[in-house]
């Protein structure tokens, strides 16, 4: 087997070079240099796992060369070879990390081979560790970016989006409570995270709680904590308000909080004091509160289901996040982002599918767009993600129409309506024909008889939809 690890030996004594090469060339690829200048030239041309360098040479000493290498080639292991008693300098070089270890002339071949083997193994392990760390750092950075933008809520260059991001950045460095208003799927939590990252509390905890996802009893313990024995089987828990102490607490869907918990929350906002369930004393906390909802809180105040004084506390600064239908110029950017996150190698979106997405109303906003693209990519086996990979059904068709009433002319509205109808009709035709062709195993005449249409008509429909009967024929066994 051809030696793979490269070793550079540096010595002004030709006999020493020959002896070292003879002892190592069977297991390693050996390169020789007569002095430090030649060694630098070799290092500039190639990478080495190990350099064995004599201490006493004309010009630069071995320690000087290896000291330079520590910064210029830190991954290369360095062994110093000496026949002199420079113990003080050599030990200093070893202790400072400039030299991995040193060998004294004359050396034993067994000791030389063991030291070289250990040095090469050290180089291999270090290289693998560094590569792993680099990979982990890249993956962590990618993961953080994906978490922060997994819904694409912060992607966009429309005037509406730029205005919202500017508002977030303007209020971030203050201590003001911020209320984020917007429909489901618009990216309210992502906005809250951006605000926290831009604030003076960015190095402290960011804790998010969905107030609508838990029952009244659970959300109370989640927010305020509870003492041991507060209820049957209860163990002490400090709650998210104390977990977020010094940082930011984000209360999502705060409009779903019950009236009695609204009262307790108002107390925390006013005094900074938290009383766990079952406790007889309070704990002081330093929190920045952010809240969000898709509900009309003022309407809930009029109905008596939300406290007016709490609303006043929350709406110190209000940010209204626009729905996707009000920032349509961002759709192409979002589509590109999600395709980049989710696509298989070489997959891309067909222009017809992109046109359909541009005209869709997106009642679920950015989250729905992401889910639509993810589903379409998973349904598509080929490289082109076409319109037929999207769920163009009656429900979706109903969502296309309403938004066109406020966009463009009546003629453009009719064009979009007709396009949506054609897309739905083609989708249904394809499903119908493919079902019969699959059942008939690609036999066009049989499929036509089963479907009740002539072979000529079936051929025309298949040509219009680019359906190939061969794909439904049984595949011969190997």
Domain boundaries, the chain: 6-127, 159-322, 326-472
CB 338 within 8 A of CB 369: yes
| Cα–Cα nearest to 186, from 213, 154, 210 | 154
The model's pLDDT over 94-120, given as tens digits with 9 standing for 90+, comes to 766 678 888 888 888 888 899 999 999
DSSP code at position 166: H
314-317 contacts: CB < 8 A, separation 24 or more?
A: 314/177, 314/179, 314/254, 314/289, 315/179, 316/176, 316/177, 316/178, 316/179, 317/171, 317/174, 317/176, 317/177, 317/178, 317/179
Integer-rounded Cα radius of gyration of the chain: 35
Instruction: Give the strand pairing for 178-181 and 101-104.
Output: unpaired
6-127 and 159-322 in the same fold? yes
Q: Which uninterrupted H or E stretch holds 432?
A: helix 410-439
**Distances in whole angstroms, Cα of residue 66 to Cα of each of 32, 50, 83, 445:** 16, 11, 17, 82
Over residues 198-205, mean pLDDT: 92
Peptide bond into 106 cis (omega under 30): yes
**Distances in whole angstroms, Cα of residue 470 to Cα of each of 80, 371, 474, 478:** 72, 32, 9, 18
**Distances in whole angstroms, Cα of residue 243 to Cα of each of 145, 194, 265, 273:** 24, 20, 16, 14
CB 384 within 8 A of CB 415: no
Please state, rounded to an integer, the average pLDDT across all residues of the chain: 84
> Does residue 461 register a pLDDT over 80?
yes
Describe the crossing of helices 109-149 and 188-197 by its angle, rounded to 10 degrees.
Answer: 120
- The per-residue pLDDT for 150 is 47
Confidence of residue 151 (pLDDT cuts 50, 70, 90): very low
Over residues 391-410, mean pLDDT: 50
326-472: CATH topology is: Helicase, Ruva Protein; domain 3 (1.10.8)
Over residues 369-380, mean pLDDT: 88
The C-alpha atoms of residue 118 and residue 97 are separated, in whole angstroms, by: 16
Which residues are bridge partners to 289 per DSSP? 249
Over residues 190-194, mean pLDDT: 93
DSSP code at position 345: T
Sheet holding 29-33, edge to edge: 29-33, 6-10, 50-54, 77-82, 101-104
What CATH number does the domain located at 159-322 have?
Answer: 3.40.50.300
Structure tokens at 423: 């897309």
CB 353 within 8 A of CB 387: yes
Residue with tokens 């002892």: 23
* 164 or 471: which leads in pLDDT: 164
Confidence of residue 402 (pLDDT cuts 50, 70, 90): very low
The model's pLDDT over 4-59, given as tens digits with 9 standing for 90+, comes to 789 999 999 999 999 999 989 889 999 999 999 999 999 988 889 999 999 888 88
What CATH number does the domain located at 6-127 have?
Answer: 3.40.50.2300
- The per-residue pLDDT for 179 is 97
Q: What is the pTM of this model?
A: 0.55
- The per-residue pLDDT for 455 is 84
Q: Which of 20-34, 195-209, 352-366 has the lowest mean pLDDT?
A: 352-366
- The per-residue pLDDT for 297 is 95
Which residues are bridge partners to 233 per DSSP? none
Contacts (Cβ under 8 Å, ≥6 apart) of 113: 23, 24, 27
Confidence of residue 83 (pLDDT cuts 50, 70, 90): confident
> Does residue 216 register a pLDDT over 70?
yes
């Amino acid at each position: 087997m051809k030696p793979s690890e490269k070793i550079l030996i540096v010595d002004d004594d030709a006999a020493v070079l020959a002896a070292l090469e003879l002892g190592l060339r069977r297991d390693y690829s050996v390169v020789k240099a007569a002095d430090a200048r030649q060694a630098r030239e070799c290092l500039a041309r190639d990478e080495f796992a190990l350099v064995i360098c004599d201490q006493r040479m004309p010009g630069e000493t071995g320690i000087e060369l290896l000291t330079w290498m520590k910064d210029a080639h830190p991954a290369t292991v360095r062994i110093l070879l000496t026949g002199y008693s420079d113990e003080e300098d050599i030990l200093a070089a070893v202790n400072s990390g400039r030299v991995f270890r040193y060998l004294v002339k004359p050396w034993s071949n067994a000791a030389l081979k063991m030291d070289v083997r250990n040095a090469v193994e050290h180089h291999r392990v270090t290289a693998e560790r560094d590569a792993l760390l680099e990979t982990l750092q890249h993956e962590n950075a990618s993961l953080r970016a994906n978490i922060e933008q997994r819904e694409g809520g912060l992607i966009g260059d429309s005037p509406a989006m730029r205005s919202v991001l500017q508002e977030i950045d303007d209020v971030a460095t203050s201590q003001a409570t911020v209320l984020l208003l917007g429909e489901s799927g618009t990216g309210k939590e992502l906005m809250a995270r951006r605000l926290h990252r831009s604030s003076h509390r960015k190095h402290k905890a960011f804790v998010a709680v969905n107030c609508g996802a838990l029952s009244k009893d659970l959300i109370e313990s989640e927010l305020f904590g509870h003492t041991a024995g507060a209820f049957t089987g209860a163990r002490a828990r400090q709650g998210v308000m104390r977990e977020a102490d010094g940082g930011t607490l984000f209360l999502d869907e705060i409009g779903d909080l019950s009236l009695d918990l609204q009262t307790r929350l108002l107390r925390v906002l006013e005094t900074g004091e938290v009383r766990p369930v079952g406790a007889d004393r309070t704990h002081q906390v330093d929190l920045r509160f952010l809240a969000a909802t898709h509900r009309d809180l003022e309407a809930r105040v009029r109905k008596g289901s939300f406290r007016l004084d709490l609303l006043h506390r929350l709406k110190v600064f209000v940010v209204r996040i626009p729905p996707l239908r009000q920032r349509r110029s961002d759709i192409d950017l979002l589509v590109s982002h999600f395709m980049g996150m989710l696509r298989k190698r070489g997959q891309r979106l067909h222009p017809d599918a992109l046109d359909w997405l541009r005209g869709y109303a997106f009642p679920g906003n950015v989250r729905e767009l992401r889910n639509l693209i993810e589903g379409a990519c998973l349904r598509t086996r080929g490289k082109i993600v076409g319109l037929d990979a999207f769920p163009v059904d009656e429900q979706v068709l109903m969502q296309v129409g309403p938004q066109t009433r406020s966009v463009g002319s009546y003629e453009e509205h009719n064009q979009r309506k007709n396009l949506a109808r054609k897309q739905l009709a083609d989708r249904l035709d394809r499903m119908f024909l493919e079902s019969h062709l699959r059942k008939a195993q690609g036999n066009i005449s049989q499929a036509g008889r089963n479907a009740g249409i002539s072979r000529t008509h079936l051929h025309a429909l298949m040509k219009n939809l680019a359906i190939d009967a061969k794909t439904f024929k049984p595949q011969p066994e190997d």
